[in-house]
Amino acid sequence: MHKKGSFASNDIGTPWYDIGFHFWEPMNGTLLKAVWIEFMCMVLFIYLATGTVVFGCHSDDAGTKEGSDAIPVDCLLNQSRVLTIATGFGLTIFILVYLAAGFSGGHLNPAITLAFVLTKKISILRAIGYWIVQMGGAVTGSALVYATDNRGYEAAKGAANRLIDGLPSSAGWLLECILTFVLVLVVFAATDTARAQSTAHMTVLAPLTIGFVVFADHLAAVAIDGCSINPARSFGPAVIRNDYYDLWIFFAGPLSGGLIAALVYEVTLRPSSAPLLPVDHVAKKGQQTQPSKLPGYAGVQGLSEALTHSDSNNSRRDTADTFNSGRETADTYDEEAALRPGHSDAINLTAVSANSHISRAGRSNRQSQE
């Protein structure tokens, strides 16, 4: 049991609600790089993603209205344009989350940051830093879009989020809440460290999966409210255009949806132990289980959380067998080197590799026994 105030979110066996908030962390290069990459990627996200809406949106062709209210044909939301916008947002998130993941976790969204800080996965100091640069980066990115194509920016209204006529605010909130719920739930599943230990492909595919969720969300909502699912994405264009109409919906909806998703995952889906084993590749012997021979594969039934004390013993025996096997291999190489001195250089190189393997196995064995 952890004391309140300790920061042990990686302890799978401890419920998230029994872990205290971590307020402070060292202001070192790691944190500063994380904050910087969040800012830089947010600028690029707003520039590239909203650029798919703005750039070129000032055709002189006839629009849907006459006079000063005319809407250029290039700005009309037909099926092709909705697909283009959704693809632009999805691909941009995929690329930038991949870029930022190793430095900051690739949040790029205040709703995701809120979900992580409330489930005690990051410190409050880091969350505040992320929120500041996410908002600032969104404003900077939107300003760069305006500087690049001010005519298109005005014609497309800065790619700002706004409810279509006749849609009540409650419906807008519900839409943004549900779409952000899906996004944050996928983020939690894709970044689950306990499952990642037994499914190597999950963390590799996380940025792609998140990008596809953003793509799907935009297909559903671009024609209704422009699809926010990200308070910073709505905040940037609102500041540059000085138009804050409906902005509260694009804060309340994503933040509440992200919070609900975090609670649902932590309460109902969070693993109770780690590492997990593939259910359909576990050979059961009474109350004992043996780990799968296929590492990195979750199986068609997912990962088993029914671990027993025997699993730890099996893992230690496997490590010991690997250690002994490596030592026998090294002994064989040494004997061959003695019998064939003409090939001593090649044999010695192989023996060095085998001894390196033994050292790694020995360290792993000692760590598991501790």
Going along the chain from its start, the domains and CATH numbers come out as 16-269 (1.20.1080.10), 279-369 (no CATH)
272, 319, 270: which is closest to 291 by C-alpha? 319
Question: Tens digits of per-residue pLDDT, 181-197?
Answer: 999 999 998 888 777 66
Q: Is the pLDDT of residue 343 over 70?
A: no
| Mean pLDDT, range 9-37, rounded to an integer | 73
304 or 243, higher pLDDT: 243
Lowest mean pLDDT among 71-80, 113-122, 353-362: 353-362
Question: Tens digits of per-residue pLDDT, 127-139?
Answer: 999 999 999 999 9
215-224, 302-311, 326-335: which is most confident: 215-224
CB-based contacts of 78, cutoff 8 Å, min separation 6: none
> What pLDDT is attached to residue 134?
97
Q: Does the pTM exceed 0.85?
A: no
